[in-house]
Amino acid sequence: MKKFILSLVCMTIASIALAQNAQMPQNISIKALDGSTVQTSAIQNDGKPMIISFWATWCKPCNRELNTIKEVYEEWQEETGVKLVAISIDDARSANRVKPWVDGNGWEYEVYLDPNQDFKRAMNVVNVPHTFVINGKGEIIWQHTSFVEGSEEELLEIVKKAAAETDK
Amino acid sequence: MKKHITLLALFFASIAGVNAQGIMGGHVTGNIQLDGQISRSDSIIGAQDVPEMLLLNSRADILYTNGNFSAGMRFEAYQNPMLGFNIKYKGAGVANYFAAYNGEKLSVTAGNFYEQFGSGMILRAYEDRYLGLDNSLLGLNVTLRPFDGVTIKALAGKQRYYWEYGDGLVRGIDGEVNFNSIIKSMSDSKLRLTMGAGFVSKYQDDQTIVYPYNPAYKLNLPLNVGAGAVRADLSYGNWGLQAEYAHKGQDPSIMNDYIYREGNALMINATYSQKGLSANIQAKYVDNISFKSVRSESGEMLYINYIPAITKQHTYAFLSMYPYATQTTGEMGLQGDVMYKIKKETLLGGKYGTDIHLNASVITSLDSKRIGGAGTLGYETNGFNPGELYYADASLEVAKKLSSKYKLTCTYGYQIFNPIVEGHPGDLHHNHVVVGDLTWKINKKNVLRFEAEWMGSDSKYSSDVDDKRCGDWIMGLVEYNFTSAWFVSVSDQYAYKDGIGNYYNLSVGYTHGATRFQLGYGKQREGLLCIGGVCRQVPASNGLTFSLTTSF
C-alpha cells in the first residue's frame, strides 16, 4: 500500500512537472451518424480551434447549451474559424434517436456517437454537459462542466484566444 | 488484490519516474469523484436507517497516455456504500487496471476493458458509476482494422463482480463492414450501408440444480452457451433504417427459472429527418434474452448483454417517477417520436420559432402459455401477439423563446404503468403530468429558472404495497445561477391527495472549469436529477449530501 501511495505522489509530481497541455486522444473508435466506425483522429479542423461538447438527448442543460450556441454559431465560425463537434453519449436506448434529434433541432455541428463511452472515459468526462476547447495543435487548453445561459460568452473568449494563437 | 496493488505501484512508479525525467514524455490525466451523505432514516420517503451516520463513495481514475500507448487504473472506496449501492461494494482498493495500445490498424487492451458489439444485444461490458453497475471484463481485447471500413473485434475475459470476478468465462468475436468505405463507387453515394455480425460464448463449470419434478435427478446444464447477432444500418438521404436480431442457445439460469427455451430479440428503428422536422419509430421484441456469465446470479451484476428500455428517458421529476425497466424474460413494444420546428416570423413561430416534440410508446408482455417449470422448455408464445399491458405513455412538449430574456417550455404527459414490471401485481396506474419550465436570463451573469409540476394519479397510497409515489403531487423549483460558477436551488414535492411524502431540498453548487462541488440538504428521490447545469443519477436520501467531481 505504501508503494501505491508513493507511486501516486510520483505521478502527481511528474504531471505537474510536465504541466503542458494534453493532446486529445487519437485512435479511439466512435460512430458517425451513418453507423460507420471512425477514429477520433478524424476530428480535425485544419489547425483551427475546435469545441468538443459531450451531450445526450436526455440532458436538458446539454440541449440548452447546443441550442444557445446554434444561434451564434455562424458568427463564431466567421470570427474564429471554430468548429463544434458534439459527442453524444446516448446508449442503445436512445442512440437511434440522435440523428433525428440533431436534424430536428437544426444543428449544423459535426456529431458523433460514443455509445459505450470509450471517448468519454479517455477524456475523463464525469457528467454531461462537459465541454472542451482544443487548439490548433490538437491540445486540450480548456474544459468546463455544466451549462448556464450566458456561459457561452466565456467559451467564445477562450476560442478567440486559441484562434489568435493559431494566427500568430 | 494486494499483489495487484504492488505490481501496479511499481508499474506506475516506473512510468512516473521516467516521465519526470522527460525521457518518455506523455501525460497523466484523470478524474476524481467523492459522494457522501449524512442521513437520517425516514420511513415516509423510504430512506433507511444508517447506523454509521456518514456514507461515502469515492473513486479516482488515473490515465497515462503516451502516443498510442496508454495505461490506467481506478481506485474505488465505499466506506460505507451509499444508499442504493450494493453492500458487497463495501471496502477499498484498486478496482480496475489496464494497459492498451491504440494504433491505426490495431488496438489491444490487457486488463479491465469495456466493449460493445452492435447495440449490445449479445455483448456490452459497460459501467454506470451512479447506479453502481460495472461489468467490465478482465482479460484481453483486440480490435483489428485491416483496411478502411472493416473492423474485427475479439475478446475473452471474466466479468467484474463487486470486488471479485464472476466464475463464468466470456469469449466473443464481432465483425463490421462499412460498404461506403470498401466499395469505391459507393463512397459518395446517398445510400449508406454498414452491416455487422457477432458471436459470444460463455463457459461456466457444472453445478447441481435439482430437477423439481423428480428430486432424484439434477439438471443437465449446458456448460457453454452461445449467442449470435446480425445487424444492419441503412440510410438513403433523409431516410434511415437500423435493425438487429439476436439469438441465444439454451441457457437455463435463475433469471428464467432454469428453463431450456432458446432466446430471441429483435430491434428495428426507422427514421426520417430534415432540418427542422424529424420522426422515428422503434419496435422491439424480447423473448428470454437475459444473458449472464453466472447462471445463479439474480442481481444487477454479471449481465453480458444489454437490452435497454425503448421508452423515452424523461427528465422532469414527475414524468420520470415511474421509469420503465426492460423485462428481459419477455416483452414487445413500440416507441415513436416527432420533432418539429415552427419557423421564425410565422404566426405560431413568432420572432424565434417554436419547438414541438411529441412522443408515444406502448410496451406489453408476450402472449405466452406456460408448459412447465425448471428443466422444461418453459412456455410457448403466440407469434407476435401482444399480452398484458406493461407500460404506455404519450407526451407533448412545446418550447419557445419568448424574448432575448425568457424561454418557456411546457409539457403534458400521460402514462399507464403496470406495477408488475417492478415485481408486485396490482391495478394499473394512470397518471397525468403537467410541467412548466421558465428560464429568465436577467443579464449576462444572472439567470433564474422556475419549474412547476403537477401529477394527478388514480393510484392511492396503501401500507401493504408501500409505494411512496402514489397519489396526486405538486412541485415547485427555483434555481438561481450566478454565471456558470454558482447556483442555488430550492424545491419541494408534496403529495396533496391520496399519497404521503414531502420532499423539500436545498442545493448549492460551485463549478470552476472541470471541478464541481455540490451540497444539498433535504429529502431526495432516487432518479435522474438535472440542476445547476448538469444531469446525474442520484440515490434516495434524507439529510445532508455532498459531491465533488474533478477532471484533470
* pLDDT tens sequence across B58-93: 999 999 999 899 999 999 999 989 888 899 999 999
| Cα B327 from Cα B289, distance rounded (Å) | 9
How many independent structural domains does chain A possess?
Answer: 1
Segments forming the whole domain that contains residue A94: 22-35+46-167
Beta carbons within 8 Å of B324's beta carbon, 6+ residues apart: B309, B311, B363, B390, B391, B417, B421
How many independent structural domains does chain B possess?
Answer: 1
Q: Residue A157 pLDDT > 90, yes or no?
A: yes
Complex confidence, ipTM: 0.92
Mean per-residue pLDDT, B140-149: 95
Residue A104 belongs to a domain: yes
Q: Do A3 and B513 touch (CB under 8 A)?
A: no
Looking at residue B22, its pLDDT comes to: 42
Segments forming the whole domain that contains residue B159: 103-308
Instruction: Give the closest of B25, B30, B310 to A124, CB-based.
Output: B30
Q: Which of A63-77, B28-42, B386-400 has the lowest mean pLDDT?
A: B28-42
Residues B301-340: pLDDT tens digits? 999 999 988 999 898 999 999 989 889 889 999 999 999 9
Residues B336-371: pLDDT tens digits? 999 999 998 888 888 888 999 999 999 999 999 999
- DSSP 8-state symbol, B36: E
pLDDT band of residue A134 (cuts 50, 70, 90) is very high
Looking at residue A7, its pLDDT comes to: 55
Query: Which SS3 state, helix, strand or coil, does residue A34 take?
Result: coil
Percent of chain B with pLDDT over 70: 94
Residue B181 belongs to a domain: yes
Average pLDDT, chain B: 91
Residue A62 belongs to a domain: yes
Q: Residue A6 pLDDT > 70, yes or no?
A: no
Mean per-residue pLDDT, B144-169: 96
Average pLDDT, chain A: 89
Residue B320 belongs to a domain: no
Looking at residue A10, its pLDDT comes to: 55
Q: Are B495 and B532 in contact (CB under 8 A)?
A: no
CB atoms near residue B45 (< 10 Å): 18
**Residue B132 or A65, more confident:** A65
Residues A115-128: pLDDT tens digits? 999 999 999 999 99
Phi and psi dihedrals of B5, rounded to 5?
-60, -45
For B105, the grid coordinates are: 490498424
Q: Which of B535, B536, B547, B548 to probe by mutation at the A interface, max A CB count within 10 Å?
A: B535
Residues B2-42: pLDDT tens digits? 455 555 555 555 555 444 444 467 899 999 999 999 977 66
Phi and psi dihedrals of A118, rounded to 5?
-65, -45
Looking at residue B23, its pLDDT comes to: 42
Q: Do A96 and B242 touch (CB under 8 A)?
A: yes
Sign of CA dihedral A99, A101, A105, A111: negative
Residue A16 belongs to a domain: no
Residue B536 belongs to a domain: no
CB atoms near residue A5 (< 10 Å): 11
Residue B127 belongs to a domain: yes
Looking at residue B11, its pLDDT comes to: 56
Q: Residue A158 pLDDT > 90, yes or no?
A: yes
Mean per-residue pLDDT, A141-152: 92
For B278, the grid coordinates are: 424529424
pLDDT band of residue B417 (cuts 50, 70, 90) is very high
Q: Residue A17 pLDDT > 70, yes or no?
A: no
Residue A99 belongs to a domain: yes
Mean per-residue pLDDT, B453-478: 92
Looking at residue B20, its pLDDT comes to: 43
Phi and psi dihedrals of A44, rounded to 5?
-145, 160
Q: Do A8 and B12 touch (CB under 8 A)?
A: yes
Q: Do B273 and A149 touch (CB under 8 A)?
A: no
Sign of CA dihedral B178, B183, B188, B189: negative
Looking at residue A161, its pLDDT comes to: 95
Residue A13 belongs to a domain: no
Q: Do B28 and A28 touch (CB under 8 A)?
A: no
Left, alpha or beta for B164 (phi > 0: left; psi -120 to 50: alpha)?
beta
Q: Do B28 and A11 touch (CB under 8 A)?
A: yes
Residue B189 belongs to a domain: yes
- DSSP 8-state symbol, B251: -
Q: Assign residue A125 the CATH number of its domain.
A: 3.40.30.10
Mean per-residue pLDDT, B220-233: 97
Sign of CA dihedral A10, A12, A18, A23: positive
Beta bridge partners of B96: B74
Q: Does A75 touch chain B (CB under 8 A)?
A: no
Looking at residue B131, its pLDDT comes to: 86
Residues B103-119: pLDDT tens digits? 999 999 999 999 999 99
CA B257 to chain centre: 25
For B165, the grid coordinates are: 470476478
Beta bridge partners of A57: none
Looking at residue B2, its pLDDT comes to: 46
Looking at residue B47, its pLDDT comes to: 59
Beta bridge partners of B519: B508, B546
Looking at residue A8, its pLDDT comes to: 53
Beta carbons within 8 Å of A20's beta carbon, 6+ residues apart: A139, B27
Residues B490-523: pLDDT tens digits? 999 999 999 988 999 999 999 999 999 999 999 8
Looking at residue B379, its pLDDT comes to: 95
Residue A12 belongs to a domain: no
Q: Does A78 touch chain B (CB under 8 A)?
A: no
Residue B506 belongs to a domain: no
Residue B109 belongs to a domain: yes
Q: Are A139 and A24 in contact (CB under 8 A)?
A: yes
pTM of the model: 0.92
Q: Are A28 and A37 in contact (CB under 8 A)?
A: no
- Residues of chain B with Cβ-Cβ distance to A4 below 8 Å are 5-6, 8-9, 94
Looking at residue B311, its pLDDT comes to: 92
Q: Looking at CA atoms only, how far is residue A131 from chain B in angstroms?
A: 9
